[in-house]
Amino acid sequence: MNTAPTTTETAAPVELDLDARLAMVGALMDERLAYANITFEVDTAHLPAADPIPTVVAPPIIQPATSPCPYTTPVAATLHRARVRLETAGWCTGQLRDEQGATCLIGAIRAEAGNRGQADDACAVLLEAIQRDFADADTVPSWNDAQRSPRLALLYLDRAAALADSRGL
């Protein structure tokens, strides 16, 4: 019987530098991507052409309609509009108006009053409404600045508007 001679010699492993290894991996990845592309085309060949994705248009911003003023007297209407302004634009303390447009009680009344006299009358009625429950309140601005939230400010604007309306102001 003829047998092939056996040798125990093994070839030394070849050490590849970084560029050679990157070239080998790049060739392997190119082959895999080409195969994946062909597979995708075969898998999706039966699908009809998809319609283009429609553009999404945001709905228009709808502003809630303001309720009509329930008061016919000018000072009461001013106090009601000041309340609406505080609800929509925001409430602040320590200043008439902040950078975002929020106002304090006095700032809202001045912005909504038709003239200076009407603003002064509205502030006087508001102070009276506040002092009915907070006897130590010296001024509207000091009481406004002592509040932590707009809840009481809005409540007392409502009370002052009802008071002014009952007096025909």
Give the percent of the chain with pLDDT over 70. 86
Instruction: Tell me the per-residue pLDDT of 103-161, one tens digit each, with 9 for 90 and over.
Output: 999 999 999 998 999 999 999 999 999 999 999 999 999 999 999 999 999 999 999 99
Range 85-107 average pLDDT: 91
Rounded distance between C-alpha atoms, residue 9 and residue 93, angstroms: 91
Structural contact between residues 113 and 78, judged by C-beta atoms closer than 8 angstroms: yes
Domain locations in the chain? 17-44, 74-167
Residues 129 and 166 sit within 8 Å (Cβ to Cβ): no
Contacts of 156 (CB under 8 A, 6+ apart): 126, 129, 130
Q: How confident is the model at residue 58 (pLDDT cuts 50, 70, 90)?
A: confident
What are the beta bridge partners of residue 91?
A: 103
Retrieve residue 139's tokens: 């001024």
State the pLDDT at residue 103: 93
Comparison of pLDDT for 82 and 9, the residue scoring more: 82
Residue with more model confidence, 21 or 60: 21
Of the CA atoms within 13 Å of residue 98, those in its CB half-sphere come to 12
pLDDT for residue 2 is more than 80: no
pLDDT band at 102 (very low <50, low <70, confident <90, very high): very high
102 DSSP 8-state letter: -
CA distances from 120 to 5, 59, 61 (A): 118, 42, 36
Average pLDDT along the chain: 87
